[in-house]
């Protein structure tokens, strides 16, 4: 699997891949390791055990300095908190040790009111924006514009930022800011690049987008192609608009003759508003909170053979790069 | 690797080695045997299968955690069982860490999308241990199936003991030994419309795919596709749950599978193209594929 090896070499740094090959066949070696390998080429049938120890030690010495390289290549990520419940951020944190791996190897968290001591929105590669924007609050209006100016990629994180979600039902009159009654998804105010719908978005989906953003910004052409293919449907969702509802299953899937009754929507629904009746989703529309998860999860909303056909190698890759 | 059959590591003519399973199985009893073995061996904690529903031959997805429950779900029901609807519930109420799931090709596509884009499926992606796909030309909404049996076959659906599609016919068998059959042509109008945009016949993204096409009666064609599928199938054969033989020289063999796959996929590609109605409609009908 050539693509997989290349991805590994980028994500682990070169030494990890070399180490694998070194274990497998001690013959062909890159020039800079030739000196280390010399003992292996000597006829040493008498004392194989000692040689093995020596080899391990030497390998250790040459690897050390190279470990720093992937760290220097990290992307910068910020979490911008608009009118949301912090559930999306909790979901990011629910990657548990995976979050530490991401922060160790792939991304620096440069802005996050909850987790990082930075007061003003800095320049960053990826802004994860949680929550919709209260248009009655000047500070929020300024900050969402600043976010667009200072971030290369703006990701709408979660149902509120993408589609309004529960904030669609706000109508003001609540303490301690009863005048705050107008809330809009961030896509109504600024251009958004990627959507991660659902309430809350899942830790695994956030992780995948972070890793793919890393490949998109730091990868070679092939890796950029994979990341682009992966992110394209989420970019298409962002381009498609700021309204979502369980009704989308009717208007965009069933009405279009595309629903084959798999039930993904019912499984994805956070509030159990969807049941499957005679092989089609039945949406209890009063329960729907307009998070957009059902439609985005539907295999007939978008489906990429290129990406999903590689599920085995991509899943393995994610598993390996998320090792601490 | 084939354009129509997808990537696979090996293909076998196989059937269950267990008489209890074969008794009411559709063909070779592969799905039931694989899950039964996987449950016994700890490869899965439970499996989402098409169980019996409230109405005859109306499948209802269920989570089987015992072999008895698996046996209750044997046999093909030619209607829609939304197995994916339980995929999150299986990890929650049932607390499964290793899930088996059986599905039509479109449902297996949903499984893989769920693993790579788990938008509303928290903690599900790494818990799918064995996805078995079944060959599928088309499916029928329950009301369509009901009409085919009750109206066209003039048979009360409560009395049906088995339904089968093969050799160009839809056949129903009843308790008293009578059977009725109609040409498949008659059934086309009852097909689920969404089946006509499907570009997969043999569940190209399953760990293991299986179906009756290609092998003699009582046997199934089994395509082993992923590492997980290969390991599980090999162990099931070694443990004596499944009898697997080479496909070499088997008639009608893979050629027939490939021919049917080509027919389905080419037709549906043409239909997807037709849905654009280029130059005539205000906007094309939507295509899910990007």
At A242-296, the pLDDT tens digits run 999 999 999 999 999 999 999 999 999 999 999 999 999 999 999 999 999 999 9
Write out chain B residues lying below 8 Å of A258, CB-based: 194, 197, 286, 288
Cβ contact, residue pair B289, A305, below 8 Å: yes
* Helix residue ranges, H only, B148-284: 184-187, 227-238, 253-275
Res. B172 pLDDT band, cuts 50 70 90: very high
DSSP characters for B264-276?
HHHHHHHHHHHHT
For A318, which residue in chain B has the nearest alpha carbon?
B116
Q: In chain A, what residues touch B126 (CB-CB under 8 Å)?
A: 204, 319
Tell if the CB–CB gap between A202 and B288 is shorter than 8 Å: no
Residues in A closer than 8 angstroms to B121, CB to CB, are 202, 264, 267-268, 297
pLDDT tens for B239-267 read 999 999 999 999 899 999 999 999 999 99
Which chain A residues contact residue B119 at CB under 8 A?
Answer: 196-198, 201-202, 205, 268, 293, 296-297
A196 interaction partners in chain B (CB closer than 8 Å):
119
The minimal CB distance from A300 to the residues B85, B194, B226 is found for B194
Instruction: List the domains of chain A with CATH numbers.
Output: 2-69 (no CATH), 73-242+304-321 (3.40.50.700), 247-297 (3.30.70.20)
Q: Is B251 exposed, middle or buried (0-12, 13-18, 19+ CB in 10 A)?
A: exposed
Residues whose CB is less than 8 angstroms from the CB of residue A184 and which lie 6 or more positions away in sequence, other chains included: A132, A133, A135, A164, A242
Query: Are A271 and A286 within 8 A, CB to CB?
Result: no
* pLDDT tens profile B70-117: 999 988 889 999 999 999 999 999 999 999 999 999 999 999 999 999
CA distance A149 to A146: 5
Question: Do residue B119 and residue A304 have CB atoms under 8 angstroms apart?
Answer: no
CB B75 within 8 A of CB B25: yes
What was the pLDDT predicted at B20?
A: 85
Which of B122, B195, B286 comes nearest A260 by C-beta? B195
What pLDDT is attached to residue A35? Answer: 43
The minimal CB distance from A303 to the residues B109, B123, B196 is found for B109
Q: What are the structural domains of chain B?
A: 10-139+200-275 (no CATH), 140-190 (3.10.450.750)
Q: Tell me what ipTM this predicted complex has.
A: 0.96
| Selected residue of A92, A272, A279 to mutate for chain B interface (largest B Cβ count, 10 A) | A279
Would you tell me which residues 79-118 of chain A have a C-beta closer than 8 angstroms to some C-beta of chain B?
91
A315 part of contact set with chain B, CB < 8 Å:
yes
Report CB contact under 8 Å: A303, B113.
Answer: yes
Look at residue A61 and tell me whether its pLDDT is greater than 80: no
């Amino acid at each position: 699997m050539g693509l997989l090896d290349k991805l590994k070499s980028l994500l682990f740094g070169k030494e990890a891949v070399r180490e694998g090959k070194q274990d497998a066949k001690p013959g062909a070696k890159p020039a800079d390791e030739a000196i280390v390998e010399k003992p292996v080429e000597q006829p040493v049938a008498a004392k194989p055990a000692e040689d093995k120890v020596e080899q391990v030690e030497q390998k250790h010495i040459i690897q050390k300095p190279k470990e720093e390289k992937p760290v220097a290549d990290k992307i910068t990520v910020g979490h911008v908190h608009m009118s949301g419940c912090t559930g999306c951020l909790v979901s990011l944190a629910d990657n548990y040790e995976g979050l530490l791996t991401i922060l160790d190897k792939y991304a620096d968290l440069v802005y996050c009111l909850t987790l990082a001591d930075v007061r003003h929105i800095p320049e960053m590669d990826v802004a994860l924006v949680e929550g919709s924007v209260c248009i009655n609050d000047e500070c929020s209006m300024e900050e969402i514009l600043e976010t667009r100016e200072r971030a290369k990629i703006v990701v709408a994180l979660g149902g509120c930022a993408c589609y309004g979600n529960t904030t669609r039902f706000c109508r003001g009159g609540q303490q301690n800011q009863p005048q705050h009654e107008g809330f809009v998804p961030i896509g109504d105010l600024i251009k958004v690049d990627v959507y991660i719908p659902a309430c809350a978005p899942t830790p695994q989906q956030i992780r995948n987008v972070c890793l793919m953003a890393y490949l998109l910004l730091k990868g070679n052409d092939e890796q950029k192609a994979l990341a682009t293919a992966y992110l394209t449907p989420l970019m298409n969702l962002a381009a498609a608009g700021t309204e979502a509802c369980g009704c989308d299953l009717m208007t965009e899937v069933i009405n279009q003759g595309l629903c084959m009754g798999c039930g993904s929507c019912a499984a994805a629904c956070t509030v159990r508003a969807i049941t499957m009746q005679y092989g089609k989703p039945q949406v209890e529309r009063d329960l729907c909170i307009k998070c957009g998860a059902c439609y985005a999860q539907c295999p007939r909303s978008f489906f990429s053979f290129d990406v999903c056909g590689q599920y085995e190698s991509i899943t393995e890759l994610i598993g390996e790069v998320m090792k601490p | 690797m084939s354009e129509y059959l997808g990537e696979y590591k090996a293909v076998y003519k196989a059937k269950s080695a267990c008489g209890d399973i074969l008794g009411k199985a559709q063909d070779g009893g592969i799905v039931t045997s694989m899950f039964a073995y996987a449950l016994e061996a700890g490869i899965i904690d439970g499996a989402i299968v098409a169980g019996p529903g409230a109405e005859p031959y109306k499948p209802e997805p269920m989570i089987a955690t015992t072999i008895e429950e698996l046996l209750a779900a044997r046999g093909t029901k030619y209607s829609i069982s939304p197995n994916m609807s339980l995929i999150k519930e299986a990890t929650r109420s049932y607390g499964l860490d290793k899930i088996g799931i059986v599905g039509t090709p479109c449902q297996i596509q949903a499984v893989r999308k769920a693993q790579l884009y788990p938008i509303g499926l928290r903690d599900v992606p790494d818990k799918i241990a064995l996805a078995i796909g079944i060959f599928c030309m088309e499916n029928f909404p329950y009301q369509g199936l009901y009409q085919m049996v009750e109206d066209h076959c003039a048979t009360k659906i409560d009395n049906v003991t088995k339904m089968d599609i093969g050799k160009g016919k839809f056949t129903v068998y009843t308790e008293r030994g009578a059977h009725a059959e109609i040409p498949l042509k008659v059934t086309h109008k009852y097909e689920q419309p969404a089946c006509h945009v499907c570009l997969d016949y043999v569940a190209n993204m399953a760990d293991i795919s299986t179906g009756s096409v290609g092998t003699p009666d009582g046997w199934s064609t089994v395509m082993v596709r992923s590492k997980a599928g290969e390991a599980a199938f090999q162990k099931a054969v070694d443990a004596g749950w499944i009898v697997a033989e080479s496909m070499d020289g088997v008639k009608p063999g893979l050629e027939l599978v490939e021919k049917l796959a080509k027919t389905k996929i080419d037709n549906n590609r043409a239909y997807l193209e037709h849905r654009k109605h280029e130059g005539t409609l205000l906007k094309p009908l939507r295509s899910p594929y990007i």
